[in-house]
Amino acid sequence: MITLGITGGIGCGKTTICKALRLLDIPIFISDIEAKKLMTFDPIVKNKLTSILGIEAYQEDGNLNKPYISNKIFHNQEILRKVNKVVHHATKESFKHWKQLQKNSIIAYESALLFESGSDKLMDKVIFIQAPLKTRIERVMKRDKISKEQVQARINNQMDEKKKEKRADYIINNHNQLIIPQLLKLIDTI
Ligand SMILES: CC(C)(COP(=O)(O)OP(=O)(O)OC[C@H]1O[C@@H](n2cnc3c(N)ncnc32)[C@H](O)[C@@H]1O)[C@@H](O)C(=O)NCCC(=O)NCCS
Ligand SMILES: Nc1ncnc2c1ncn2[C@@H]1O[C@H](COP(=O)(O)OP(=O)(O)OP(=O)(O)O)[C@@H](O)[C@H]1O
C-alpha cells in the first residue's frame, strides 16, 4: 500500500484535487475534518483544548467557536503550538487506525499542515498542490467570505511555500493546467 500526502498552501486546491482523486477510487483521509471531529467530540481532546483556550472555545451547543479559536491561535504562537500539539497528535493516531482498515493499493492523506505537523513522516510520497499566492488569497476570500488580512494571518502561521515544494516528491499545477490528466499521469508513475 502506498500512502500519498496531499499538501499545499491555503486555497491552493487540496480539497478540489481530493475530489478528483476520489473519482479515481482513491480513499482519502481529510485531516482537517478528522481534527474538527476530534476537537468537537473526543472528551480527552476537548478537555485539553478547554484548558488551553478557555471554555469560550466551545459554543453552548458544543460546536467549535471557530472565530474565537482562530483569533486566539493565529495571533499567539505559544497557544498555537499547544493547540497544534494536542490536535495533530490525536489526528495522526486516528489516521493510523483508519489506514489499518483500508484495502486499496493507493490511499491519501490531505493536510494543509502535513510538514508542520510531522505527518509527512507517515507518507510514502508527498504531492504539493501549486497555485500563485495572489490566486490563493482571492480564492479563500471568496470561499470563506473573509478579508485579505485574515487570510494573511493564517499564511503567516504556515511553513514557507518554497520549503514545502522542495520537500515534495510531486507537484500538481492547479492554476493553469487541467487537474485530471496530471493526476492520471502521476498515478501511472506511482
Ligand atoms: C481555527 C479553526 C477553528 C478554523 O476553522 P475554519 O473551519 O474556519 O477554517 P479551516 O479549519 O478550514 O482552516 C482554514 C485554513 O487555515 C489554516 N490553518 C488551520 N489550522 C492551522 C494551524 N494550526 N496552523 C496554521 N494554519 C492553520 C489552513 O490553511 C487551513 O486550511 C481550525 O482551523 C482549527 O481548529 N485549527 C487548529 C487545529 C488544526 O491545526 N487543524 C488543522 C488540521 S490537522
Ligand atoms: N483550478 C481551479 N480553478 C478555479 N477555482 C478553483 C480551482 N481549484 C480550486 N478552486 C476554488 O478555490 C477555492 C479553494 O480551493 P480548495 O478549497 O480546494 O483549497 P484548499 O487548498 O483545500 O483550501 P484550504 O487550505 O483553505 O483548506 C475553492 O472555492 C475552490 O472551488
State residue 7's pLDDT score: 96
* Of the candidates 6, 102, 90, the residue with the CA atom closest to the CA atom of residue 40: 90
Pocket of ligand 2 (CB under 6 A): 8, 10-16, 112, 139-140, 143, 174
DSSP letter, residue 96: H
State residue 154's pLDDT score: 84
Looking at the CA of residue 9, tell me the nearest atom of ligand 1: 29
Contact 151, 137 (CB under 8 A): yes
Q: Give the separation between CA 70 and CA 56, rounded to whole angstroms.
A: 12
Predicted structure pTM score: 0.91
Ligand 2, atom 15, residue with closest C-alpha? 13
State residue 161's pLDDT score: 87
State residue 137's pLDDT score: 95
77-96 tens-digit pLDDT: 999 999 999 999 999 999 99
Domains in the chain, start-ordered, CATH in brackets? Answer: 2-189 (3.40.50.300)
Which residues of the chain register pLDDT less than 70? none
CA of 143 to the centre of ligand 2 (A): 8
CA of 11 to the centre of ligand 2 (A): 5
